[in-house]
């Protein structure tokens, strides 16, 4: 589908689900900036394609940060939304990411565990023992120049989790304007949600969806 100048790739759709590739720098849900958001775009697209009168239901069950692109699923019915949300709560919805970070690693794989707390006013996340537990597994796929390509298996979906956990270990993500002091104005964060898997809320079939980041720098170093 095309919304103005924004192209949104629809990967899968049935009566219960809508799986899309979220474009970079697009809000998932409307906020006080009043910028265009993915949820509203998709609702409008469904309304036009199926000529539906009135409001269109589309349930948001998980999120991606505004600058991050990748695979997302939306629920087209309240029953599907409830069942998908339950999978999220039970950590049954699996998300994998590619990230390009600064520096090289001594350990080629590992598990990062922290407690994260969000400052809502600053929209920034900090490591704090009173926060919520954040867990991810990572594997280094390749290193070139001063960058490393990381495969991340996200176990908990905390806000800004990947960005904060790697930045706190002196491996900030390329182009992360919020947590990487070396990032330059105009650089795009190198974080992409390339795999999303879950069980269909009605048929119970396991579904796996894959995507690829763009060929822009620094992704072109590795893909």
Instruction: Name the phi and psi angles at 212, rounded to 5.
Output: -130, 140
Helix (H), strand (E) at residue 146: none
Which residue reads 């699923």 in tokens?
73
Question: What residues does 195 pair with on adjacent strands?
Answer: 96, 210
Catalytic residue selected from 31, 37, 45, 65: 65
Question: What is the spatial distance between Cα 2 and Cα 22, in angstroms, rounded to a whole number?
Answer: 12
- Which residue blocks in the chain are alpha helix, DSSP H? 38-49, 78-89, 161-167
Q: What is the dihedral angle through the alpha carbons of 98, 101, 107, 112, rounded to the nearest 10 degrees?
A: -70
Question: What is the spatial distance between Cα 12 and Cα 21, in angstroms, rounded to a whole number?
Answer: 10
153 is catalytic: no
Does 218 sit behind a cis peptide bond, omega within 30 degrees of 0 on the bond before it? Answer: yes
Residues 6+ apart with CB under 8 A from 24: 67, 68, 69, 188, 189
Question: In Å, how far are 41, 71, 78, 148 from 171, measured between CA atoms?
Answer: 35, 24, 40, 9
Question: What is the spatial distance between Cα 115 and Cα 128, in angstroms, rounded to a whole number?
Answer: 6
Question: What is the spatial distance between Cα 71 and Cα 198, in angstroms, rounded to a whole number?
Answer: 12
Active site residues: 65
């Amino acid at each position: 589908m095309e919304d103005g100048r924004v192209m949104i790739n629809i990967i899968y759709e049935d009566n219960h689900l809508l799986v899309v590739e979220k474009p970079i720098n697009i809000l998932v849900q409307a906020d006080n900036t009043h910028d265009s958001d993915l949820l509203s775009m998709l609702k409008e697209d469904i309304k036009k394609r199926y000529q539906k009168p009135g409001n269109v239901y589309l349930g948001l069950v998980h999120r991606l940060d505004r600058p991050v692109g990748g695979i997302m699923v939306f629920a087209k019915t309240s029953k599907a939304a409830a069942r998908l949300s339950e999978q999220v709560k039970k950590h049954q919805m699996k998300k994998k990411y590619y990230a390009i970070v600064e520096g090289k690693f001594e350990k080629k794989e590992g598990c990062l565990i922290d407690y994260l707390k969000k400052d809502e006013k600053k929209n920034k996340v900090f490591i704090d023992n009173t926060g919520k537990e954040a867990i991810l597994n990572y594997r280094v796929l390749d290193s070139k120049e001063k960058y490393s390509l990381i495969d991340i298996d996200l176990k908990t979906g905390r806000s800004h989790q990947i960005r904060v956990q790697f930045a706190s270990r002196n491996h900030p993500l390329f182009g992360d304007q919020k947590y990487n002091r070396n990032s330059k104005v105009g650089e795009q964060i190198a974080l992409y949600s390339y795999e999303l898997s879950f069980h269909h809320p009605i048929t119970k079939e396991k579904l796996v969806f894959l995507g690829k980041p763009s060929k822009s720098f620094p992704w072109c170093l590795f893909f």
